[in-house]
Amino acid sequence: MARKASVMADDDAPELTEAQLAEMRPAREVLNPQQFEAVTSVRRGRPKVQTPKVPVTIRLDADVVETYKATGDGWQTRMNECLSRGAQELRAAPRARSSDAGKESSPKARFGGKTKAG
């Protein structure tokens, strides 16, 4: 079976001749600075976000994942929102002193984390 050509032939845009290639100049030499900036400043791809997501691997209880998945499309976004609220609470909570490590008021205790005392 013959392979297809990787480039489509276009009669409206014939290949450049050696003379045409020799006459070509870089865009910076041909365009004025404003035109060159306008042409080269275009960014391709998805725009950068202020708070990019970070891919992680995390082991969660099966019932937790099933519960979120049962809510339909966007379940990961909803889970992220819940985790964000929890992170805000942790940041807002006063830091537990070492003598308070076992008390229920510590952020670790409130969120089910193990404490040094237990």
Please report where in the chains the tokens 């099966």 appear, as a residue: 62
CA distances from 113 to 71, 91, 95, 109, 118 (A): 27, 15, 14, 6, 10
- Rounded to whole angstroms, the Cα distance separating 15 from 19 reads 12
Q: What is the CA radius of gyration of the chain?
A: 30
- Rounded to whole angstroms, the Cα distance separating 116 from 100 reads 10
pTM passes above 0.75? no
pLDDT of residue 118: 46
pLDDT in tens, 47-94: 888 989 999 999 999 999 999 999 999 999 999 999 999 999 999 987
Q: What is the longest distance spanned by two Cα atoms in the chain?
A: 83
- Rounded to whole angstroms, the Cα distance separating 28 from 93 reads 56
* Alpha carbon 16 to chain centroid, angstroms: 41
pLDDT of residue 103: 56
